[in-house]
Each structure stands twice: as structure tokens, then as C-alpha cells.
Structure 1
Amino acid sequence: MCKYLDNFGFGPQIGDAVSVDSRYSRSWYATNQFTLEVIFHEKMKRYECLNRNSSLASAFYIPYYAGLDYRRNRWRNVAERDAAGKEMFKWLTKQPQWKGMSGKDHFLVIGRISRDFRRNSDNVSVRGTNLILLPESQNLTFLTIERSPTSHNEFAILYPTYFHPTSTVEIRQWQDKIKLTNRTILFSFAGARRPIRSQSELRTGGKRKIEEILRGIPNERIIGMRENVIRLVPKIVYTKSNRYKRMEKLLKMLLMLPWRE
């Protein structure tokens, strides 16, 4: 796992100027899906609006790697799994920054799904930790992979991809490549609601195959859906740490949350 923490959490770079992988630009990395906490922390350290005077701060980021801690302790007993989170809150709740709004102006990024931190039993066979269910967590804002639909203070963010561009030009080049690529292999993209018809047929064991259902979609609709996917590219990549626009938008969103008042 350690090698994936290199390059601001992006992991080992894919290819170079002399290797067989030189077809890749220098913005492609073998990024581990669970290093988002490191990636976000590295971005925060370079955020241009950081304030050394906490009394002037609008929000407080908690640099606790809950997902990586869970990965390290996931096969241990529940006390060991929960220990670091409880210790973190024990320290945090004593800080003057916490006491101002009881944590409502604090946020934590977790690079795993919400379910991994919602263990509501002390049974050792039940997966995860109880971090999100702790009393101190109820005022926090959590940015998690796959939020719980019943949560009032969780907001879903994306898994990191292998592509970490440094410029708009790189993003547009990749979008053009996607658009011009001739695909001969069918694959699924679980990014929207399934068509009711195909979902029903699959559940009832209908005779029609998935390929037949998909091939029945009009070509103009396919083109439109493909364009939508291509337009998503700038929104689903984590850029290198010298860019701040995405971070600024995210922090503004956090400050506008109505439940924090």
C-alpha cells in the first residue's frame, strides 16, 4: 500500500518518456481506490485560502485517515477498530475550535463507503467501525464514497481515477480521444437509474438478453448519453495539487449547508 501514497496520494506514475508506456501523459498514475484521504489532505495543504488564525476560519478540515485506519485494523476486534476514532474525538472535542459550534463547522473526508463506518453492534463478525455513529460525529460533515441515504450530514464524493490532469487542455484532449474511439466491446456504466423495462425483465428472468435490450435504444439517444458521459470527465477527476478551483467550490458548498446553522 505504501507505494500508492507517493505523488500526493496519486501513486506510481504510469509510463515515462522512454518506456513502453510512453503513450501515457505524465498525468496518469496507478492510483489506489482507497487513497482519497491522502489526495484530499495534500490538496488542502496547498489550498490558497488556508488561515493560520483559527478565529477567522469558516471551516475546519480534520486530517484523520479513517479509511486507511480501518484498512489496517479491519480484521481485529471491535475495540481496536474503534480506538483511533475515539482517540481522535477525545482530543478534538477539547480544542477551542470545536467548542465554538460543537463541530458543525468541521468536516472529514473518508475514502471508503459509509457502511464501513456504521457498525451498530459489538459483534466481532460485523464489519466496520462505529465512527459515523459516535455522538461527536452527528454535527460533523462527512464527505464519503457512497453516502448513506438516511444520513443528514454525509455527502457523496467520487473514487479517484488514474487520470490527474494539470490543465484544461489535457482534459479536452482526453475528451476528444473518448469521442473518437471506436468501441467494439460492450460494457456497463452504473451511473444512473436502470431502465425500468430492462430491470423488470432481468428480475423476472425474461428471455431477452441485456445486449438485445441495449441495442433497442435509438441511436440518437445513445449519442446523447455518450455526450453526457464525456461532459462528466472534468467533474470526476482529481487534478494535481496546484489547482484550487474545485476545492474552493467544495468549501463554499460546505459553508452553505442549512443543517450547520
Structure 2
Amino acid sequence: MTALGFLYPGYSAEDDYPRIEQLLGSDIRLAVVHTDIGEDAHRVDALLEMGSADRLAAGVEEIRLAGAEALVWACTSASFVFGWEGAHEQVRALARTAGIPASSTSFAFAHAVRELGVRRVAIGATYPEDVAALFAAFLKAAGVEVVATRGSGIITAAEVGTWGRAEVTALARTADHPEAEAILLPDTALHTAAYVRDLESDLGKPVLTANQVTVWEALRLAARRVNAPALGTLFTKEPLVQAHG
């Protein structure tokens, strides 16, 4: 049995995690601990507070008690908003506090793109345009070429959590770009676990979604690989490189 820990901001699409655990069909247990997010807003000041060290540290003891072998801050916006170096410091602090390897969803996207062996991506974000642009800048710092970025102007995670298959499919289709080798949907408040395979079939290319890559990143940190076709190309490929960081 491998236990993996996730600090999840508030309550929006956390039911993706038991769904993913079921789809993994292995001896993997996903322990989700909810953090206090403060103000629910896709605004830079609110996101910096949401991802502050004190708010994250408050959930670490529960992760430790769950026996987790790795920990991921299951939030994209409240990690990339700190910038490349700041996001690194955020996960270093988490690792020190928890005493286990740690990462965040932002780094999960960077590592997953590398795993797929693609260079050019398109972003379909639920966020306002200015916040979506910060994610594009984060990926560029990771050496990823972003050929298109589309924001949706949604302010709260609570609203994003109400989106279903139709809205997620429309977001992915709108985000697609002829030069993009993969589509990225970067919001853990967005329900996507049930749709990844259909999205890839519809678009004809890999689709990386926030909760999907978050779980994959935790498995990577724990040196576990699970073949789970229902979770898309990322969970069916043999490793191209050993990603660190």
C-alpha cells in the first residue's frame, strides 16, 4: 500500500481524488486534507495568501498521520503566482515541514509536459486573463513553449466547481491551437477526472488536467508508476526521462 498526501484548497472538485483512486485500480491510497483558503478569488493578492506557508503548514500533521510517502499542494494558481523561484521555496518549505518529498500542481504540469516529450502547449484556464498569463510565464520558465493562452474570467473556485462535461469540453476545444502538441487545463477546482480520455479522443492530442497531473506527480515522487488508460496518455506512457525537482 502506498499512501499519497494532498493539500487541497477548500472544497470544489475534491471528489476527483476518490474517482482517480478508483481508476488507478492499484494499492494506492489518496489522502486529501483541505486547507483554509481565506478569500475564494482568482486574484493575485488572494492567491498569495491562499498559498502562504502558515495556511499550508496547518494541514501537514494530518498528512503525516495518514502515513503519506509524498505530498503535493493540490493547487495551481496559488503556486505559480509566487513565480518560478517562489514556487520552489513553497514546496521546499512543505517538504521540510512534512519530512517527505513535496511538490505542487504547477510543477506537476511542468514535469508532466516533459514526461510526454512535448514542447509546445496551449492553455485553457478558468482564471482571468492576467492570472492565466502568470501560468504561461511559469511554464516558459520551465522551458515549455506556450503557443496560446485562454482565460475564462472566472473569479471563484466555487463557480469553477459547478462546471460539468459540457463546459470542460468547450474550454478544451476553445483552448486548442494547431501548433499545440498538448492541451493544459490548470485548475484543481475543475472536475476533469471523468473526462480526460474523452477529451483526448475529441482533440486528438494529450490533455493534461490539474487533478490528473497532481496525482501523477505524487506517484512520481513516491517512485510508483500505474498504468491507468482512463486517466489519459500521461498514465499510459513509458517514462521518457527521469524528472526531478
- The TM-score bracket by the shorter chain reads 0.3 to 0.5
What TM-score results when the alignment is normalised by the length of structure 2?
Answer: 0.37
* Higher percent of residues as strand: 2
